[in-house]
């Protein structure tokens, strides 16, 4: 029997400001442990907002988000940060690596933040080798290509052996070859380590690598499609 890793119940998100924007309008969703889900939809449909709310990067306006059974809303900012450090990895479109740290140090950082300093360097090096960048350990991000930077980001996301990897347009800034390589890598790591992966993408080719595709529109899930499902 499958175990729900991520659950959202009637999640609403409003943005206050000059004009009130209702970005999520009651999203109900359940993602199983080890599942790879792609969220798709037109620009402004709320897919990135949903990822941010599910990962605890943003507070929701109402509803509930459960991660491994824990209600995110009930956690303080510090507890949520710890949860992210211990259980989550992030991959974003523009890599967001720290330019002052080397690749190795960037990858090592989540381990140190999670209080796993012992053997952190070796683990980080191994993660970099896994993504094929064992020889780029001491290079800083500005010295790497886009594809390499994204692989460092993936190494940083998985080094902590997290339950969940959140990926927002992980291939959005890459060419087709590099996109393929990045998705291969994510799938391989998922198979090997059993990560739950939630990715937001516009790219059908990328989405098709997921086991389930969720289509959003106007802040709501319109439909879902499983891989191989021809409906």
Partner 1 sequence: MSPLLILIGIIVLLIAVDAARHRVLFKMGFRNILRRKTDTVIVILGLLVATAIISSSFSVGDTMENWIESEILDDMQYTDVTVYNTTGQGTYVPFSYEYYRELRADIMEVENVLDVVGEVHGRISVFDPASLLSRSDIPMMGMDMDESDAFGGFFVDGVEIQPSLNEGEIMIDRRLADDMEVGDSLILFSVGHPMGRVYNVTQVIDNRGRAAFGGPGKVIMNLNDSRMAMSIPGHLNFIRITSVGGVEDGALYSDQIFRDVDEILKAEQSILEARENKNELLEEFKGMMSMFTDMFFVFGSFVIIAGIILTINIFVMLGEERKSEMGMSRAIGMKRKHLRRVFSYEGMIYAGTASAIGALVGVGIAYVIFLLLEDIFAVFGGDVSFLSYFHVSPDSLILAFSAGFLITMATIFFTVFRISKLNIVRAIRELPEPPVTKSSRKPLFMAVGSIALGFLMTLAGLSTPQLWLPVTGVSLILIGGGTIARRWVGDRIAYTLVGIFLLVWWMVPFEAVESFFDDYSAGMEMFILSGLFTVTAGIMVIMLNSSLIIGALDRIPESSKGGKAVVLTAVSHPMKEKFRTGMTMFIFALIIFAIIVMSMIVGIFNTNMDRMIEEQSGGYDMIGLTAWDRPIDDLYVEIEGRGIDPGHFQSIDQASLSMVTLADGNMDSVIGVDRNFVRNNTFGFTEYHDDYDSVDDVWEALMSDPSLVVTNDPGEFGMPLEDPIGVDSVITIMDAYGEPREKRVIGLMDQFIIHGYFMSKEGVRSEFNTTSHNLFFISVGEGVDADELAREMERELVPFGFQPIVIDTVFREVMSAQFMFFDLFSGYMGLGLVVGIASLGIISLRAVHERRLEIGMMRAIGFKTRMIKYVFLVENSFITLTGIVLGSALGIGIGWLLWYDGFRPMGWEFYIPWGTIITIGIIAYLTMLVTAIPSAHKASKVSPSEAMRFD
- 95, 149 contact by CB (below 8 A): yes
Site string for partner 1, 5-34 (x = CB under 8 A): ----------xxxx----------------
| DSSP strand pairing (164-168 vs 196-200) | parallel
Name the residue among 110, 198, 200 with its Cα closest to residue 155. Answer: 110
* Least distance in angstroms from the C-beta of 142 to partner 1: 9
**Can residue 54 be called a binding residue for partner 1 (CB under 8 A)?**
no
215 near partner 1, judged by CB under 8 A: no
Per-residue tokens: 6: 């991520």
Which span sits near partner 1 by CB under 8 A: 66-74, 88-96, 203-211, 221-229? 88-96
CA 22 to chain centre: 23
> Is residue 78 part of the contact set for partner 1 (CB under 8 A)?
yes
Query: How buried is 153 (Cβ within 10 angstroms: 0-12 exposed, 13-18 middle, 19+ buried)?
Result: buried
Locate 121 and state its tokens. 């360097």
Compare residues 158 and 213 and give the one whose CB is closer to partner 1. Answer: 158
Q: Which residues bind partner 1 (CB under 8 A)?
A: 15-18, 52, 55, 57-58, 77-78, 81-82, 84-86, 89-90, 92, 94, 96-101, 105, 108-110, 112-114, 156-157, 173
């Amino acid at each position: 029997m499958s175990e729900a890793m991520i659950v959202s119940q009637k999640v609403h998100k409003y943005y206050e400001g000059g004009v009130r924007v209702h970005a999520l309008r009651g999203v109900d969703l359940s993602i199983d442990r080890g599942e790879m889900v792609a969220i798709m939809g037109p620009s402004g449909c709320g897919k990135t907002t949903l990822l941010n709310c599910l990962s605890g990067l943003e507070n929701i306006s109402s509803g509930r988000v459960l991660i491994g059974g824990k209600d995110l809303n009930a956690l303080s900012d510090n507890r949520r940060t710890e949860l992210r450090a211990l259980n989550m990895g992030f991959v974003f479109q523009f890599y967001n690596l720290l330019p002052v740290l080397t690749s190795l140090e960037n990858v090592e950082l989540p381990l140190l933040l999670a209080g796993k300093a012992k053997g952190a360097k070796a683990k980080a090096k191994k993660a970099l080798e896994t993504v094929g960048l064992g020889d780029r350990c001491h290079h800083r991000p500005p010295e790497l290509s886009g594809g390499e930077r994204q692989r460092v980001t993936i190494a940083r996301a998985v080094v902590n052996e997290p339950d969940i990897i959140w990926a927002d347009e992980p291939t959005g800034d890459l060419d087709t070859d590099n996109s393929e390589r990045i998705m291969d890598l994510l799938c391989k790591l998922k198979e090997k380590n059993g990560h739950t992966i939630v990715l937001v993408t516009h790219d059908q080719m990328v989405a098709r690598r997921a086991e389930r595709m969720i289509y959003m529109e106007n802040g709501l899930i319109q439909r879902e499609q499983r891989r191989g499902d021809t409906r």
